[in-house]
Structure 1
Amino acid sequence: MRFFAFLLTLTLSVAAYPSSAQEAVRPKAPAREQPPPPKPVTLDDLFERLSKAGSEREAEGISKLIERRLARSGSDTADLLLSRATQAFEKKDFPLAIELLDRVLALQPNWAEAWYRRATVFYQIDDPVAAMADLSRALKIEPRHFNAWTGLGHILMASEDKARALEAYRRVLKINPQESSVQTIVNRLIPDVDGQDL
């Protein structure tokens, strides 16, 4: 009797737990499709977002992201030299900053940010001609470099070339319409330029 009870228990347990062969025959539930990984945000994407920013605060956040991207060359050596040049600039050691930036540009001649940074140093040592030349190089490489356009506008204003300064500032606003400080300058310049068609 105990033997039959054992067999009955065994039969019930087999029925309750199908064999692996039985499991294999059962159709499997379709696997859920994984969403594709998000595409990396490009510099073009950031400039597009900047042009459509709904507030100055939003634009400021996006422009900082752009500045961080522009400050990376892809070369660890060049990036380190740029960092040291920035430190020298902050300490007002302008000759050292220029020397380091010369080395950066020898390594990365197509790096717009390095040309812009050297232009800034030249401007500080009262060499606007060299500064304008470097800004022109920066803008040739990256025409959307809003800081370079702003710097160019300042140099042109200092030389009383208000019409070209206005043009440079308008380029800044085309890239970043939320730049209120530049908009203020543009509003002041328009009457001086007498509405010339630039």
Structure 2
Amino acid sequence: MDNRSIERLLEDLKHADPEVRNRATQELWRRWFEQKGVAGLEQIRQAQMLLETGEKLKAEAVLTQLIQDLPDFAEAWNRRAVLYYVQGKYRKSLADCQQVVQLDPIHFGALHGIGLCHVALGEYREAIPAFRRALEIQPYSIENQRLILECSAKLS
């Protein structure tokens, strides 16, 4: 991805105007999904359709194959993390989210996912830094702000 345009989008995530923030958010998601072109995007869509029809094992197989074929495709890892999360496989989801962040440190979705996995595992102290990192990228995220407060309350 073009560094200059990414920097601009990251700045737009911090803009006071919610429309500017929403456009930047959508553009980043679009870039993440389209990082590997049509072939990668089609595989992600296929996995999503399988998941929506309840064929979780097939969706996992599609995503795992995509990760094997394109190990630097951060969104493939992120989609599999989402799949694991909805299945209650929080440790597997956490591992995939961490891989996403290794590949793309600004992936606020994966950072949020790391926090959610820790919350699901009752690891509130570990969740807070993940939500804070996501909040550094998206400072207007009410959801991450709320989750930080909830985790802090559980620790007191």
Fold-level similarity (TM above 0.5)? yes
**CA displacement at 1:40 relative to structure 2:** 10
Instruction: Note if contact 2:67-2:77 (Cα within 8 Å) is conserved in structure 1.
Output: yes
Instruction: Note if contact 1:149-1:172 (Cα within 8 Å) is conserved in structure 2.
Output: yes
More helix by share: 2
Judged with a 3 Å threshold, the aligned counterparts in structure 2 of structure 1 residues 182 and 67 are, in CA distance, closer, same or farther, namely: same
Distance 1:125 1:147 in 2: 18
- Aligned CA RMSD, in angstroms, stands at 2.0
Distance 1:162 1:89 in 2: 29
Which one of 1, 4, 10 corresponds to residue 47 of structure 1? 10
Distance 2:18 2:131 in 1: 17
Q: Which amino acid aligns with 2:29?
A: E
1:149 maps to what in 2? 111
**CA displacement at 1:113 relative to structure 2:** 0.8
Write the mapping of 1:161-172 to structure 2, written as runs, cut at 5 A. 161-172=123-134
Distance 2:17 2:70 in 1: 35
Where in structure 2 are there 5+ consecutive unaligned residues?
none
Which one of 62, 82, 103 corresponds to residue 65 of structure 2? 103
2:95 maps to what in 1? 133
2:24 maps to what in 1? 62
Q: Which amino acid aligns with 2:12?
A: R
Q: Which amino acid aligns with 1:130?
A: K
Q: How many residue pairs get matched?
A: 155
Deviations 1:67-119 (A, max 9, x none): 01110123432221111112112223211111111121122110111101001
1:54 aligns to what SS in structure 2?
Answer: coil
Instruction: Note if contact 2:36-2:73 (Cα within 8 Å) is conserved in structure 1.
Output: no
Which one of 74, 87, 90 corresponds to residue 112 of structure 1? 74
Distance 1:121 1:191 in 2: 28
Distance 1:147 1:153 in 2: 10
Query: Which stretch of the first structure deviates more once superposed, 119-128 or 182-191?
Result: 182-191
Where in structure 1 are there 5+ consecutive unaligned residues?
1-38
Which one of 146, 149, 155 corresponds to residue 187 of structure 1? 149
TM-score by length of 2: 0.89
Distance 1:186 1:57 in 2: 25
Instruction: Note if contact 2:91-2:117 (Cα within 8 Å) is conserved in structure 1.
Output: no
Instruction: Note if contact 1:56-1:179 (Cα within 8 Å) is conserved in structure 2.
Output: no
Write the mapping of 1:57-96 to structure 2, written as runs, cut at 5 A. 57-96=19-58
Judged with a 3 Å threshold, the aligned counterparts in structure 2 of structure 1 residues 192 and 125 are, in CA distance, closer, same or farther, namely: closer
User: What percent of counterpart residues are identical?
Assistant: 23
